Structure 1
Amino acid sequence: MHTHRLTMDADVVRKQFVSWSRGEADREWTGLVTLSRHAPGLVPEPLERYLQPGGAPVIVMSRLPGTPLGASRLSLAQVRALAVALRRLFAVPAGRELPERALGASTMRAQVRGDLAADPQLSACRDPALVAQALALAREWLTLADSLDDGSADTVPALGDGNLGNVLWDGTRCRLVDFEEFGISSVAYEVADLVEHVSSRLRRLLDVDLLLEELHLDARERARLTDCRRLLAIFWLVMLLPGNRGFRRNPAGCTEDQADHVIGLLNA
């Protein structure tokens, strides 16, 4: 769903929100102010915010150089620059007064459980049996969810959206944009959101092992990452089921690809 319109001038971007019921504009402004203060150059500089007649929020920010990642597989230099940007993001102090990021760890499991409670119609899938197997394993794994450590006790600033299109590459550095889901999260959950996002995973755009190596995760973060990846992979499987938008927007076979991926993660 498109939540905003962008107007770009040479040095300035105006972001007009067409949907703001979930506090998107407030999250974006808070994210830009917080991160530009502690990690200058990583994100656009917030310049102004106001309401248009009718109440639509507008945020004016500096325009960063670069083009969005995600058009092709990331190069070695791009993966390393992405890791640098993420390490800068995670190093910013995040006070407890900040809200949890949109659809964060504390709410994701409940949502996925609810989504899996229904018995989806799989006849439109290429391989209904494979998808059904993945869903059965996912339901079984989610029964253990209350005892699993998702890393939510950690507190780092979060972009809140793992789409590589929110990362700008200028040939040397990566910078981050689009903070309407900004809030606090954990390193494990945010890294999982990035590596499991179907916009890149289905097309194999990201060398996950290299990114994890470049992020220098400690043993605790890597352990938490395993469960966060499983959870978010299941979420994306649900989004790719018949009747959901992801099924219609992606080529045939993507649901089976995701189902096979979920099975691999859960059996690892």
Structure 2
Amino acid sequence: MKKIKWMMGAALTALGLSGAAGAADVRLGLNSSLGLGCQVVGVRAGVQEGRVGVHAQGAYCLSGVQGRAGGVAVGAAVSFDLFRSGGLTTYALAGADLLNGNSALHAGLGLRYGIPLIPVEGYIEAGVQRISTVLQPIVGPRLALGVNYKVNVANLQGTLPATGAATGDSTPAPAPAECKLTPDQDAAAARATAQSAAEAALSAAASAYSAGFSSFSYKVNIGSAAISGNTAQVSGSVTITLVARGSNTQTSDTYTGTVTLVRDGCGWVPTGYRQN
């Protein structure tokens, strides 16, 4: 029984790892050029708010010359999200590096994929780089493949305030006028986003812990949506039913919790989950 309870808790823990609601993402990652470039393995740290992100990176850089030791590559870049659909994001980026003592400029496109409410995402970037040397510049391909741990934090200018907070008005802020959404439609959109995110995260958790059970199913029940300015909280419950491997006993339990979201244009983006 303890084993079954642990697996249920682990599945829900996967939802809660992404932390509190916020409008900015801090990313900490590991990456490699897979041999297409000098960076064998590197670390990256960055922050993104809205569509714009910046990051700095350090890596071990091969010399490419037999018998000569490698060095350190450091750099920074700025990115801009071009297209987002579900957990998939395409972006453009440009930056500068110092590779084994030579300065370099790079630009390209990237593809980032993450599951809502799960803080780990993978990315791949491809483009060109221009390395300056004392004789002439060298232009070549650039590739980066990596994984990020993403943490949601407060808006870079501070916590997003609820409209009317200064006057004591607790009326939910409406969606932007160009969206042509009624308050009920805005709340329904928040509830639908929360349900979709919870189902995606639970499916991912089921795959991650599939070695521990022979049968796993879930049901998401979405409750009310509380909108305050540019943030929303959607309450609900998750019922998980599973059969642990080595046992023929089916166990079911229900957990209540809250999905937090921030406004993104005419829609909503999930940023975290808190189990009650």
Q: Normalising by structure 1, report the TM-score.
A: 0.22
In terms of fraction of residues, the more helix-rich structure is 1
The one of the two structures with greater contact order (alpha-carbon pairs below 8 A, sep at least 6) is 1
Q: Normalising by structure 2, report the TM-score.
A: 0.22
